[in-house]
Amino acid sequence: MEDTIVAISTALAPAALAVVRLSGPNAVGVADRFVQLNGCRLPELPANRLIHGRVSDNGEFIDDVMICVMRAPRSYTGEDVVEISCHGSTLVARKILELSFKHGARLAEPGEFTKRAFLNGKMDLTQAEAVMDLISAKTQRARAAASRVLGGGLSHKLEAVRTALVEALAYVEAYIDFPDEDIGKEEIAFVIERLEHARTEIQKLLATAREGRILREGLRVAIIGRPNVGKSSLLNALTGTERAIVTPIPGTTRDILEESVSIRGIPIVLVDTAGVRKARGQVEKLGIERTRSAIASSDLILHVVDGSKPANKADLELRQSYLALSASIILVVNKSDLPARLQVPPEFSGVSRVNVSCVTGEGLEELRETIEAQAGIPVDANSHSEVLINQRHEFLLKESIVAVTDAINHASNLGCDELLAQHLRRANDAIGQIVGKVTTEDILDQVFSRFCIGK
């Protein structure tokens, strides 16, 4: 990469400090044109030290700054990097950005600093993805999962899979190259053993896909029920806010309302829905249609009923509407502070049940515990041995496991030949795409499109 890039790497809002980052072969030369130091020039600075300087433009003083030069390859990107810490005025940071443009740098694209780190061998593709996961982590569990991948946890597991595949492929290709050397049952057994080991490890990684999605995107929890059973009150109680409007009038909620919250370290997206009943007007009809859509796309359903009233036919009809879905269900019996009149119908047998009062707070802690249990994330989710895959990894691991299974079946029935080698190469290529040993521009664009400018 011959050009030098620059971006503001801190939030574009007033703060105590802002950081402008340059990276590229001329990063030091660009900054040297507008940063003045006491007693030396920027190219003479020792690496990795924070030095006081002044930024000016044609003699006009802009700001006092602290500047650090990091020399290639010992920097985040593997290139020469200059980081300028200025006062946190957006005007000052933008002025330093403009001066960088003026003297030869260009604005970095989203994720370009991390992309250069990957291209320069400072990290593999799984670690680059983990950078964005770490930045966007909403809970401690999500942060811990991203940190493990950034530290190379997933890379090590994938390297073990690749090693098993390469060992098997070496035997097969040796036989293809030297057909006069008979390959016996012991060699075939070794090939199959290596492939079985690879398949087992891939299956372990695939088993983390749901946990990874939940920690990155949040568990979608739909709060459903008849009008006026306390759905919006439950949303407010779980979030600790007055996010939803609560009135005694049935049908107050006409549209979907989403709110993010952390429950036991799990990111949760609570979806407050319109009460399901015979619609009274076009607006309420649209709200109920959106409720049904929210139910269909949820991981967990909180079916709220009024414990102070007898069971209603509408509760049973609503229960029937989602029976075929794969989402987990919790029956939330609300208004436990009032005299109980509800006899839970047999249609709810086998469903987790929690009694709560959104007025007194009774049962809310038990509900949080039940939501955590239904999320299906193990208690030891913070274990340093666990790494969680993302959707891209899942797709490629599924490709790889199909190829590995094809290879096992082929080796068991037909022995070693070129077709077996092709199955193994296909499996190995899929694993290589995950870590970035096999890359295309499309893959890189997919990975780095979610990044912010400056990272």
Q: Where in the chain is the domain with CATH 3.30.1360.120?
A: 5-108
More confident residue, 366 or 388: 366
Average pLDDT for 100-120? 96
Mean of pLDDT over the chain: 87
Assess whether pLDDT exceeds 60 at residue 245: no
Query: What is residue 247's predicted lDDT score, i.e. its pLDDT?
Result: 45
Assess whether pLDDT exceeds 80 at residue 178: no
| Look-up of token digits 């600790």 | 240
Q: What is the fold, at CATH topology level, of the domain defined by 217-375?
A: Rossmann fold (3.40.50)
Q: Please give the Cα distance from 297 to 299 (Å, whole number).
A: 7
The answer to whether the beta carbons of residues 132 and 216 sit under 8 Å apart is: no
Query: What is residue 384's predicted lDDT score, i.e. its pLDDT?
Result: 44
Average pLDDT for 428-436? 94
Query: What is residue 439's predicted lDDT score, i.e. its pLDDT?
Result: 74
Query: What is residue 407's predicted lDDT score, i.e. its pLDDT?
Result: 95
Which tokens belong to 261? 């919250």
Residue 187 CB neighbour total at 10 angstroms: 17
For 232, the enclosing helix (H) or strand (E) is helix 231-239
More confident residue, 397 or 272: 397
Assess whether pLDDT exceeds 70 at residue 282: no
The answer to whether the beta carbons of residues 162 and 431 sit under 8 Å apart is: yes
More confident residue, 288 or 436: 436
Assess whether pLDDT exceeds 60 at residue 261: yes
More confident residue, 243 or 269: 269
Angle between helices 209-217 and 140-150 (to 10 degrees): 120
Q: Where in the chain is the domain with CATH 3.40.50.300?
A: 217-375
- Could you tell me where the DSSP H helices lie in 240-390? 282-296, 313-321, 364-375
Which amino acid is it at 277? R
Query: What is residue 96's predicted lDDT score, i.e. its pLDDT?
Result: 97
Assess whether pLDDT exceeds 60 at residue 99: yes
Q: State pLDDT tens for residues 368-421.
A: 999 999 888 765 544 444 788 999 999 999 999 999 999 999 988 877 888 999
Which amino acid is it at 312? N
Q: State pLDDT tens for residues 121-153.
A: 999 999 999 999 999 888 888 899 999 999 999
Query: What is residue 255's predicted lDDT score, i.e. its pLDDT?
Result: 58
The answer to whether the beta carbons of residues 10 and 29 sit under 8 Å apart is: no
Query: 326: which DSSP letter?
Result: -
Residue 116 CB neighbour total at 10 angstroms: 21
Superfamily of domain 5-108: Probable tRNA modification gtpase trme; domain 1 (3.30.1360.120)
Assess whether pLDDT exceeds 70 at residue 157: yes
Residue 87 CB partners (closer than 8 Å, separation 6+): 16, 17, 18, 63, 64
CATH 1.20.120.430 describes domain 127-208+391-448: yes
Of the chain, the percentage scoring pLDDT greater than 70 comes to: 90
Query: What is residue 444's predicted lDDT score, i.e. its pLDDT?
Result: 85
Query: What is residue 279's predicted lDDT score, i.e. its pLDDT?
Result: 47
Q: Please give the Cα distance from 269 to 307 (Å, whole number).
A: 25
Average pLDDT for 336-359? 91
The answer to whether the beta carbons of residues 419 and 410 sit under 8 Å apart is: yes
